[in-house]
Amino acid sequence: MVTRRLARAADSIQLVLVLAVLVLPVAWTFLSAFKPRTEVAALPPRLLFTPTLENFAELFGRNDFLLNTWNSLVVAGGSTLLGLALGAPAAFAMAWHRLSWPATATLFARMAPGALFLLPWLVMFSALGLVGSHLVLILTHAVITLPVVIWVLLPYFDAMPRELVESAQIDGARGDQVFWKVALPVVMPGVIVAAILSFVFSWNYFLFALVLSGIETKTAIVASFNFIGEGVTNWGALMAAAVVIAAPPLILTLLIQRRLVGGLAAGAVKG
Amino acid sequence: MPLPARRRRGTVASYRLFAAPALLFAAAMIVFPFGYAVWLSLSEVALGAAPRFVGVANFTRLFGDEEFWNGFTLTLELYLVALVLQLVIGTWLGLLLARSRRARGLVRTVMVSPFMLPPVVVGMMAIVILDPSFGVANWLLAEAGLPPRLWLADTETVILTIAALDTWQWTPFVALIVMGGYLSLPRDVFEAAEIDGAGGWWRFRHVTLPLLGPTLVTAAVLRSVDLLRFFDIIYLTTQGGPGRASTTLNILAYRRGFEFFELGYASAIMVTLSAMVLGSVLAFARLRRAVAW
């Protein structure tokens, strides 16, 4: 059994190496954000330092980063709610009537380059005078969240026993009552996964807000991009911004780790 | 005339209308803009004037444009390099995770974190870590006695550096899919191979890999769609440079559309890119039927 133990040891070493490659860059970023300004770019790197919040103070003090973060929250939250409001009833109808073409159609939105829609949107929303509003960002980000909601919820609605709905119908429940009181509570775990994935995808999305946001509605992601564009070599503040942007998705996905990969791969299996 | 005298409640009830709001939204935000983009791609658009229909003139110009072919080559290079790296490393890592049965707790947290990070954050990390003068990557190379590299500022290798960044971010995702696929395979096949005394590599090549075929195709589809449309990290770190060494089709289309306002020409590039994405998805759909078991 010596070979078996050797094999296990070899496996462990490989796994540790992989984890190191994945963790170290992120750890480096988080450490840099808490380093005193003079030590951020110091080489050889200092691993022992007095942690400070001065980078965050500068980030939120000198810039509008607090407003930018608030904008990101509004847009991600709003587009998640809109995606759920549109997608959950649609997924129920599609599962119940075994409709497949709307699901295929939403897959198209997932496949097309975002910039393809962006030019027409710019023309459309300029005509409506909406460019630069929170509303336009919520509407466009819902194009990301809606397919996520539909594809995550479809298997949950498919797995729901049909008798549940049928017996509610016999009891005389109206369509909206069937949906709210019978179907939705059964798929609640799926709704949570869909909501978290939608929020993270919307929060992370860069391109639409890059073009369609205004000075007052700029998201944290776009603000960080402008930060780099200014040629600011203040790495401390840049890394502080990275931490602020990275924290919500990392914390939220901790909650749904087990279902994460299934949720992300949904759609590819049938498509 | 079939007249249901007394509708039996329950069997006839229709919930089709529940899909209506989503379909209306999709019609306004996806279908109409897509049609509009296709129409733009067939038009000459001058600022301040109404678009003028010019047929396939934009596409003719496109296929004669050396910038387009530069972008086309870079798009394919990034796509192929990153896809192969992610599938190969992802398969190795996925099987490693399945063997050690350790993809739980801390290990899983570490595995899912990279691909949940905003790509913009990966780009910010790259800017700081890969800076040719002050980045820690070159310092590590120097400590190891190796020559420094220009990383994102190197015309020759910038696209490979970007492929490496995406590989860092998304290989764990491929690995988790492979692990899931492997653990759901029937155990007895492997036991039979073991009893037959098949060696490790032979077993991998002739038993594991064929059985993992459908799983790998799924992973390849998901990565293809993202890789062909790759935008965020490039736009954040190099904006297509140095020179135009990382101006992929998506970057080229964006710059033509939003920096030069050549709406018709930019739309033609994006319609072409969409066709490439669709083509790759359809190709993999055929491949999936070929590797099904």
CB < 8 Å to A112, chain B: 34, 274, 277
When scoring A72, A165, A250, A261 by the number of chain B Cβ atoms within 10 A, the one with the most, hence best to mutate, is A261
Task: Classify residue A106: in a domain, yes or no.
Answer: yes
- Read off the DSSP letter of residue A160: S
Contact A206 B229 (CB under 8 A): no
pLDDT of residue B1: 41
Q: Which residue in B has a C-alpha nearest to residue A163's C-alpha? A: B10
pLDDT of residue A9: 87
Does residue A236 contact residue B108 with C-beta atoms inside 8 Å? Answer: no
Per-residue pLDDT for B10 more than 70? no
Up-side HSE of residue B216: CA atoms within 13 Å toward CB? 22
Q: Which of A28, A41, A170 sits opposite B10 (nearest CB)?
A: A170
> Out of A92, A172, A203, whose CB is closest to B18?
A92
Q: Tell whether A202 is covered by a domain.
A: yes
Output the domain CATH number for residue A250.
1.10.3720.10
Residue A247 is assigned to a structural domain of this protein: yes
In a domain, A230, yes or no: yes
Determine, for residues A87 and B116 on separate chains, whether the beta-carbon distance falls below 8 Å. Answer: no
In a domain, A50, yes or no: no
Question: pLDDT, tens digit, for every residue of B94-120?
Answer: 999 988 865 567 888 899 899 999 999
pLDDT at B270: 93
For residue A40, tell me if it sits in a domain. Answer: no
Determine, for residues A206 and B109 on separate chains, whether the beta-carbon distance falls below 8 Å: no
CA distance A180 to A191: 13
Note whether B196 and B188 are within 8 A (CB). Answer: no
Average pLDDT over chain A, rounded to an integer:
87
Q: How many domains would you assign to chain A?
A: 1
CA-CA-CA-CA dihedral for A167, A171, A174, A180, to nearest 10? -60
- Give the nearest partner residue to B129 out of A12, A28, A150, using CB atoms: A28
Rounded to the nearest angstrom, the minimum Cα separation between B270 and chain A is 6
A139 touches chain B (CB under 8 A): yes
CA pair distance A266, A260, nearest whole angstrom: 10
The mean pLDDT value for B204-230 works out to 91
Return contacts of A62-66, CB within 8 angstroms, 24+ apart. A63/A223, A63/A227, A64/A218, A64/A223, A65/A220, A65/A223, A65/A241, A65/A244
Q: Which of B34, B52, B35 is nearest to B44 (CA)?
A: B52
Query: Which range among A1-10, A67-76, A86-95, A247-256 shows the weakest confidence by mean pLDDT?
Result: A1-10
pLDDT at A38: 78
Contact residues, A window 193-222, toward B, CB-based 8 Å cutoff: 200, 203-204, 206-207, 210-211, 221
Query: What is the average per-residue pLDDT within A217-227?
Result: 90
Range of the domain at A130: 59-265
Name the minimum distance, in Å, from the CA of A142 to any CA of chain B. Answer: 9
Q: Is residue A7 part of a domain?
A: no
Nearest CA distance, B1 vs chain A (angstrom): 25
Which pLDDT band, with edges at 50, 70 and 90, does A113 fall under?
A: confident
Residue A4 lies in a domain: no
Q: How far is A147 from chain B (nearest CA, A)?
A: 10
Helical axes B119-129 vs A2-33, angle rounded to 10°? 90
What confidence category does residue B133 fall into, taking pLDDT thresholds of 50, 70 and 90?
confident
A-chain CB neighbours of B36 within 8 Å are 120, 123-124
pTM of the predicted model as reported, rounded to 2 decimal places? 0.90
Residues 59-78 of A with CB under 8 A from B: none
Q: What is the pLDDT of residue B3?
A: 46
Binary contact (B21, A89; C-beta < 8 A): yes
B137: closest CA of chain A, how far (Å):
10
A102–B22 C-beta distance less than 8 A: yes
Given pLDDT bands bounded at 50, 70 and 90, which one contains residue A20?
very high
Least CA distance to B280: which residue of chain A?
Answer: A111
Measured CA to CA, the distance from residue B15 to residue A176 in angstroms comes to: 9
